[in-house]
Structure 1
Amino acid sequence: MHTVFRIDEVRKLDKKSPLYQVDLKLTSDDDQQLRQLTDRVRQETSGSTGWYRMGKLLLKISQFDKAEELYTALLEQVSNDSDKADIYHQLGWLKDDQGQYKEATSFYKMSLEIKRKTLPEDHPSLAPIYGNIGQVYKNIGDYSKALEFYEKAHKIKEKALPSNHPDLAISYGNIGQVYNRMGDYSKALEFYEKAHQIFEKALPSNHPHLATSYNNIGGVYKNMGDYSKALEFYEKSHKIYEKALPPNHPSLATSYNNIGGVYKNMGDYSKALEFYEKSLKIREKALPPNHPSLATSYNNIGMAYSGKGDYSKALEFYEKAHKIYEEALPPNHPSLAISYGNIGEVYNNMGNYSKALSFLEKALTIQQKTLPPSHPHIKETIRRINNVKKV
């Protein structure tokens, strides 16, 4: 192991000086927490050669263009199907992270097609591909399809892994996410808590997966209206992300965004705007300009301005978000429905009722196609439409 230090203490030299003194302590080879962390890093950046490991590392730190350049070059050099399948899989992961879901699905399925020619259906190496295809379907709003692929992945992992393995926890978390999107919050919480129990036992306390777990549980509590509980879990998550990730990492942006969402729901729109803008600042640096997560930031900032009563500013940000959603997502995606609904609500508040009704009805059409009939979003949109019609 190379030389690694722990930060022991940080203190300012004096009140007038901008300099700080940092006291470091040399770690030992038998440092258990450090060993767990480095072992996990090695697992997450594993590969047959240094170039493959480099590609995974570039993806982990969100250097998408460099990763794509590397994988494209590797693809031109390899001749055997096994290596091609691995590269297609990584390119699928890359495209998914960039919000290019059609391309992501194509690469993942090319990888799956190659592997299924030579492997049994329950082979462990198929699980990541099934899981990632499930993630793409989740991102495009096809939740039944997402659940199908996530469950295929989970079935393989349950056979192949010990019951406390972190990858099994990730699988529980993925299934929980789908139930959360479908509005089945009790089921979502059940799977998230299964995941969290494993993470707490298997990972060091500052591992990003543990932060994601806190974040997921916080999201369910927010959806259930328990905002104090949601904020508690979001802040636990954020504390880990700040320590473990670079300052421009998309997960940190998501964390700021989620905390902002709680403040928005609590009616503290100024505080919400503060966190939403922190999220946007990271996303504008880290993501391509047409990425759906960037649209989410614009949309949320629009909601904060709407809450403050600044409807023209709200409409400006809602329309920025909507433009990206229309380009990046399929026409029946739930996020597009939310976007239509938000624009409709602003027009309603501005007194333009015909435009409000038009956008709200577009939102309802999508929601009725993609969500269960009892989903809270459908009920809310119907309520809004009825209120506009009463005016």
Structure 2
Amino acid sequence: MKPRFALGMLAASLLSLPGPTFSATTPASEPAPLVVFQAYPVRLQAARDAVEKAGQGGRADALKLAAALNELAAIHILNADYLEAEDALERALSIRERQLGADHPDVATTLGNLGLVHLGQGRLDKAEAPLERALAIRENVRGYASVEVANSLNNLGVFRKASGEYARAALLHKRALALRERALSPTHPDVAMSLANLAELYRAQGLFPAAETLQTRALAIREKALSADHPDLAASLADQCELLREQGRYAQAEGLCQRALEISEKALGSEHPDVARALLVKADLYRAQYRLAAAEPLYRRALNILEKRLGRKHPELATARIRLGELYMDQRQHVLAERLFQQAREIREERLGRNHPDYADVLVRLARAASAQGRQQEADEGLDQAFLILGERAWADHPSLNLAELTRARVAVARGDLARAEPLYRRALAMREKNLPAGHPAVARARTELAELYRLQGRYVDAVPQFTRSLDALEKIFGTTHPELMAPLTGLAAISRAKGEQRATEGYDKRLLAVQEAWLGPDHPTVLALLESQADAYLASRRYTDAAPLYTRLIAGSEIRMGASSPAFDALLERVAGIHKANGNQAEAELLYRRLLALREARPGADADPSIPALRLMLADLAFAQGRYVDAATDYRYLLETRAAVFHDGNVQTGVLLNNLGESLRLQGKSEEAEASYLRAIAILRRAGGPQHPELANTENNYGISLFNRKALAEAEPHLLEALRIREQVLAPTDLDLATSLNNVASLRIARGDSAGAVPLLERARVIADKHPQGGALKAGIRRMLESARGASQGKGDAQ
């Protein structure tokens, strides 16, 4: 947040203006009254009335006019109306210098406020002189221990911090704090101001533990001393939110940010720069939580407010552009991010100069954007400039130096120079460990990057413990499904995969999928790709049971993403249905094929689509395979009746369909209808496929079985023998269908009393079946029949 400064205001006898400055005469032993915030329009009107009244008094009331102008300017400053404030202060300064002399305390008040106007406008080149002059006057007139001197020290400290002079700023804020604690009381709101400004200075340098101690105390004072709708309370809440976010304590931060925004909007209106600052703090928290879609509109709203109220060249606008740019970096929109960083660089170069750490900071971010787009040489050159600025001792703990170290390491990795990257990653991690709590997410991120370097170097022994430490720390902060976990999980999965540790790899892959699905949604392309990859990997390992639920999730997400009418979704349905069918899950396969059929039949030109009859035939076959013979027969007949153009008597497929219809009827006990269907199928198959067609053998066999079951043995024999003849000619000698035909003919011979004639057939069938692990039922049947046939034929021999 923006540091708070002390405005010099008129005595209470003229206009009561509760704000950041309080009477020095309040006894330390007496509790300060609750400070109630007065709305800007009310205060502004009162100040304008005072200016008008004082202006009517002529030269005699010139000092009253100057005082009224000074208070009017102070109100404009609080509302960020800097041009109006500057005009009023220039008039007041002219009057006071003429009437009171250059070294009067009231001149110092006006000079101090004029310096704050220039600070508010981001014009650092113009702010220093009036602030220094104000301090010098007050020290000469009031002495070194007055509250007025503390106010000037505070304001000059704000200037030094904005100028990047952190050491000098710290000294000034510490002096101001000591003076205010001694002169006012440790719980006075002005003490809270000094605490908050010193905390902000520490936070800007990455010294978060020291900052939190001060900021927590400042917030406690303001909660007690200020009304619940006071902007200074909102500022402390936002500052505390930022500190908590920086330390990864997001749950604690969120309520504070929302409260800060609500107070700022209520007290200052929706277009005030302090509202923009509160929006930025809330957006930063959302970004840290990977709520990128929620963060972007907040960043944009803040940018619009700052540009409208502060102008296109204000340093705060540069900061806001950088923060939005970082959001785009997260989204890999590197071109958009680079454009925003470049705009920020131009502002900072013009307003802050090329030796300011904030200028170095934006150079580092530009280098990151260039590197992300493959421009490594350009990135290195930008980093060289940043290191020249940040390499001085004064910036040893500056967060931008840490970011520069990490960025240079990433550039080295992108160039394949892994040896150069290692010491950079180590220094960056050490810096974060020094300035942040051990469990801070930024420490874990730096550790993950070092671990990833070790992985790329093949140093798995070094990489695994670093990845594991990062993962443990991030899980404690974010839980088990936060995207922060993806980097260490990905690294651990890659190492396990490289080492051939299948079980560990699967565990990491499952966790990665859970993270991606939780944050991106079940229909995100990344999630869908990962689902398909994991399912296919299970399938390749013959783990269909593990693969099946992943395919189900893949279909559900793909339908959301692609739409049910998409050709890609159509192809996926067909592929997954085929997988279920091939793995014996006929019910799941049928569900998907029926969905596919419904989608295709709903399209224009469905009557001419050759895939539709094929799908219907497959669905009939699936119903048959599941023992739903009535459904199967219905589907077969539907195809014959409605697709005569496809299933005509010259098509082998028509014979196959009729054979299948016959089987579905036979298994319902409808032998007469079944045999009529077989006979028609035999005629079509013999004419269209020739006397040696395998499907003719199947139909002859099925027709023979139907006759056999009706005890029409003489009629059955030629058909069973014909099936055996064809199969012996066209199938391999070890084909299981050949064993089936041998078994069936043998069964016929046994039924006709020729057990001896059945034995050689069954012996051939047993040899074939024994070579097929999947022919268990057939094997058992052949063995039983063979034992029975041998026994029967032996018995006949004994009897003779």
Normalised-by-shorter TM-score class: 0.7 to 0.9
Mapped partners of 1:189, 1:36: distance in 2: 37
Partner of 2:111: 51
Mapped partners of 2:387, 2:346: distance in 1: 19
CA 1:317–1:142: 2 relative to 1, 3 Å: same
1:358 aligned to which of 417, 423, 431: 423
Partner of 2:411: 346
Partner of 2:159: 94
Q: CA deviation at 1:273?
A: 0.9
Q: CA deviation at 1:333?
A: 3.7
Q: CA deviation at 1:204?
A: 1.4
| 2:161–2:201 contact (8 Å) kept in structure 1 | yes
Q: Which stretch shows the higher mean deviation, 323-332 or 66-75?
A: 323-332
Partner of 2:130: 70
| 1:36–1:204 contact (8 Å) kept in structure 2 | no
Matches within 5 A, 1:191-206: 191-206=256-271
The CA deviation string for residues 223-261 of structure 1, in whole angstroms up to 9 with x for no partner, is: 122221111110111111121112210111111111211
Q: RMSD value over aligned CA atoms?
A: 2.4
1:134 alignment partner AA: A
Identical positions, percent: 26
Mapped partners of 2:327, 2:208: distance in 1: 24
SS of structure 2 residue aligned to 1:282: helix
CA 1:32–1:72: 2 relative to 1, 3 Å: closer
Partner of 1:112: 177
- Are residue 282 (structure 1) and residue 282 (structure 2) matched? no
Partner of 1:175: 240
CA 1:266–1:43: 2 relative to 1, 3 Å: closer
Mapped partners of 1:295, 1:261: distance in 2: 16
Matches within 5 A, 1:187-336: 187-327=252-392, 329-336=394-401
Q: CA deviation at 1:341?
A: 1.2
Structure 1 residues not aligned, in runs of 5+: 1-29
Structure 2 residues not aligned, in runs of 5+: 1-39, 48-71, 80-84, 90-104, 458-800
SS of structure 2 residue aligned to 1:163: coil
1:67 alignment partner AA: A
Q: CA deviation at 1:40?
A: 4.8
1:344 alignment partner AA: A
Q: Which stretch shows the higher mean deviation, 75-84 or 293-302?
A: 75-84
Q: CA deviation at 1:320?
A: 2.1
Q: CA deviation at 1:329?
A: 4.6
- Are residue 142 (structure 1) and residue 216 (structure 2) matched? no
Mapped partners of 2:134, 2:264: distance in 1: 34
**TM-score, length of structure 1 as denominator length:** 0.86
- Are residue 127 (structure 1) and residue 192 (structure 2) matched? yes
Mapped partners of 2:350, 2:261: distance in 1: 31
Mapped partners of 2:121, 2:240: distance in 1: 25
Mapped partners of 2:338, 2:175: distance in 1: 42
The CA deviation string for residues 37-77 of structure 1, in whole angstroms up to 9 with x for no partner, is: 98852546799632232122122112223222112223333
Mapped partners of 1:307, 1:276: distance in 2: 14
1:158 aligned to which of 216, 223, 233: 223
Mapped partners of 2:250, 2:257: distance in 1: 10
1:63 alignment partner AA: R
SS of structure 2 residue aligned to 1:373: coil
The CA deviation string for residues 204-228 of structure 1, in whole angstroms up to 9 with x for no partner, is: 1110011111111111111122221
Q: CA deviation at 1:328?
A: 6.8
Mapped partners of 2:269, 2:354: distance in 1: 35
Mapped partners of 2:111, 2:317: distance in 1: 27
SS of structure 1 residue aligned to 2:135: helix
Partner of 1:387: 452
Q: CA deviation at 1:368?
A: 1.5
1:41 aligned to which of 69, 76, 82: 76
Mapped partners of 1:42, 1:289: distance in 2: 28
Q: CA deviation at 1:365?
A: 1.1
Q: CA deviation at 1:265?
A: 1.1
The CA deviation string for residues 312-352 of structure 1, in whole angstroms up to 9 with x for no partner, is: 11122223223322237542344322221111111011011
Q: CA deviation at 1:32?
A: 7.9
Partner of 1:5: none
1:69 alignment partner AA: A
2:169 alignment partner AA: A
| 2:124–2:351 contact (8 Å) kept in structure 1 | no
Aligned length: 362
CA 1:334–1:281: 2 relative to 1, 3 Å: closer
- Are residue 374 (structure 1) and residue 439 (structure 2) matched? yes
**TM-score, length of structure 2 as denominator length:** 0.43
2:147 alignment partner AA: S
1:130 alignment partner AA: L
Which structure's relative contact order is higher, taking Cα pairs within 8 Å and 6+ residues apart?
A: 1
| 2:244–2:250 contact (8 Å) kept in structure 1 | yes
The CA deviation string for residues 71-129 of structure 1, in whole angstroms up to 9 with x for no partner, is: 22233333213332221111111001111111001011122222233222112221211
Q: CA deviation at 1:133?
A: 0.8
Q: CA deviation at 1:132?
A: 0.6
Q: CA deviation at 1:36?
A: 11
CA 1:223–1:328: 2 relative to 1, 3 Å: farther
| 2:77–2:117 contact (8 Å) kept in structure 1 | no
1:373 alignment partner AA: A
Partner of 2:572: none
| 2:204–2:399 contact (8 Å) kept in structure 1 | no
2:228 alignment partner AA: S
Mapped partners of 2:352, 2:373: distance in 1: 28
2:147 aligned to which of 49, 74, 82: 82
| 2:223–2:233 contact (8 Å) kept in structure 1 | yes
CA 1:36–1:151: 2 relative to 1, 3 Å: farther
1:73 alignment partner AA: R
1:290 alignment partner AA: N
Mapped partners of 1:42, 1:276: distance in 2: 29
CA 1:242–1:62: 2 relative to 1, 3 Å: closer
Q: CA deviation at 1:296?
A: 1.7
Matches within 5 A, 1:3-18: none
Bigger Rg, which one = 2
| 1:33–1:204 contact (8 Å) kept in structure 2 | no
CA 1:336–1:42: 2 relative to 1, 3 Å: closer
Partner of 1:9: none
CA 1:195–1:287: 2 relative to 1, 3 Å: same
Mapped partners of 1:93, 1:312: distance in 2: 37
CA 1:329–1:183: 2 relative to 1, 3 Å: farther
| 2:242–2:281 contact (8 Å) kept in structure 1 | yes
Q: CA deviation at 1:304?
A: 0.7
Mapped partners of 1:262, 1:34: distance in 2: 38
The CA deviation string for residues 1-29 of structure 1, in whole angstroms up to 9 with x for no partner, is: xxxxxxxxxxxxxxxxxxxxxxxxxxxxx
Mapped partners of 1:313, 1:176: distance in 2: 36
Mapped partners of 1:262, 1:155: distance in 2: 32
| 2:425–2:450 contact (8 Å) kept in structure 1 | yes
Mapped partners of 1:171, 1:267: distance in 2: 33
Q: CA deviation at 1:383?
A: 2.3
Q: CA deviation at 1:307?
A: 1.0
